[in-house]
Amino acid sequence: RTIGDRIGEAKASGNLGNTLKILGQFDEAVVCCQRHLDISREQGDKIGEARALYNIGNVYHAKGKHLSWNTAQDPGYLPQEVKDTLQKASEYYERNLSLVKELGDRAAQGRAYGNLGNTQYLLGNFSEAIAFHKERLAIAKEFGDKAAERRAYSNLGNAHIFLGRFDVSAEYYKKTLQLSRQLRDQAVEAQACYSLGNTCTLLQDYEKAIEYHLRHLVIAQELGDR
């Protein structure tokens, strides 16, 4: 501010916003991210504007998740305040998405689709969540981003469960399991086995369910995860 560097001030405000978000000071975080947005617009900085929109979405997303921790509810059955907060997150992600499309930034589009899928899932809009996660998946494959691909499969599996499509979920969870082994991520492998065990139970394939739950147990013991 002293030297009149507006772009620098915008970036610093954005960083402050992200830090306040991590500290759980969501309302102060929104103020800082909004300043990042306002200055970026004033300066005609489209990339800064896109980042600011994404960051504001992130703050509302984190706030919504934080508020919903106190209510152990299934997705879609949320108090009004939580719904409104997640709806705001979704709106900012949508605005970010249309701007990064305009800028031709595919990687940023992938991040926006993933987050839109997650917010719609929490809001109980499972078909919308699936559409967004499929877009996320396509971009992850485009970039050869195995970790993002793995997350997309997992999220697609979760959303299909709530639509009662257990067989489709099982296929997505199997892909999650395959990728977690490729990535040598044992914690995620255990998680995938747990999801597959539950899905096989829903499909009444109890032998397979036992197999997956045993695998989950073995990894949990190996990791010393009580």
Question: pLDDT tens, 129-176?
Answer: 999 999 999 999 999 999 999 999 999 999 999 999 999 999 999 999
What is the C-alpha separation between 176 and 158, in angstroms, rounded? 11
Model pTM score: 0.93
Q: What is the pLDDT of residue 77?
A: 83
Residue 76: is its pLDDT beyond 90? Answer: no
CA–chain centroid gap for 138, Å, is 16
Return d(Cα 48, Cα 109) in angstroms, integer.
Answer: 15
Give the chain's domain count.
Answer: 2
Do residue 180 and residue 163 come from a single domain?
yes
Give, in degrees to the nearest 5, the angle at Cα 98 between 84 and 92: 20
Same domain, 138 and 171: no
Together in a domain, 98 and 35:
yes
Report whether pLDDT(72) > 70.
Answer: no
Full residue range of the structural domain in which residue 155 is found: 146-225
In the predicted model, is pLDDT for residue 73 greater than 90? Answer: no
Q: What is the mean pLDDT of residues 91-113?
A: 97
- The confidence score (pLDDT) of residue 69 equals 81
Domain co-membership, 81 together with 161: no
